[in-house]
Amino acid sequence: MEERQLKVHVGWDGNNFCCGVSENIGGVVVATAKNLDKLKKDFEESLRWHIEGCLADGDILPDWIAAGNYGIDYELDTAAMLREAERYTTMAAISRVTGINQKQLSHYANMLKRPRPAQRQRIIEGLHTIGRQILAVQ
């Protein structure tokens, strides 16, 4: 059986990262945490408990979930992506590399505004550029 990817949406609620999945896995599984690493750890633990509980109760789950034949694909919204990036860089650096005004980036990070898809892509490409520049340091 081929491994399936479980898509998990990660957002920012103003104080914490939050995530959830509502795909057909016998219910909804959510988690929240102050940092992305803890969020992922807590979510994966909650998902395992959910699956174990469903199986113990005799609930019907998709075969791939029951068999543990899945990977998790975390999809960060723009606010969560910018908040995570702040661990490694500054809004000023992101602004310089993307050409997006720092105040506008702050609006995206604080969920006051949502970027258009093209703007979001500029942010992603800018973060990749910053990452490549850091990796090039010798």
Q: pLDDT of 43-53, one tens digit each?
A: 999 999 999 99
Task: List, for the chain, all residue ranges whose pLDDT scores fall below the cut of 70.
Answer: 1, 22
- Amino acid identity of residue 87, one-letter, is R
Q: What is the pLDDT of residue 40?
A: 98
Task: Round to whole Å and give the CA distance between 109 and 60.
Answer: 39
- CB-count burial class (<10 Å; 0-12, 13-18, 19+) for 79: buried
Per-residue b/e over 84-106, b at no fewer than 16 CB within 10 Å? bbeeebebebbbebbebeeebbe
Q: What tokens does 36 get?
A: 């992305």
If one counts every other C-beta atom within 10 angstroms of the C-beta of residue 126, the result is 21
Task: Round to whole Å and give the CA distance between 124 and 76.
Answer: 11
Task: Round to whole Å and give the CA distance between 31 and 20.
Answer: 7
Q: What is the pLDDT of residue 27?
A: 83
Q: What tokens does 37 get?
A: 């690493």
Q: What is the pLDDT of residue 119?
A: 97
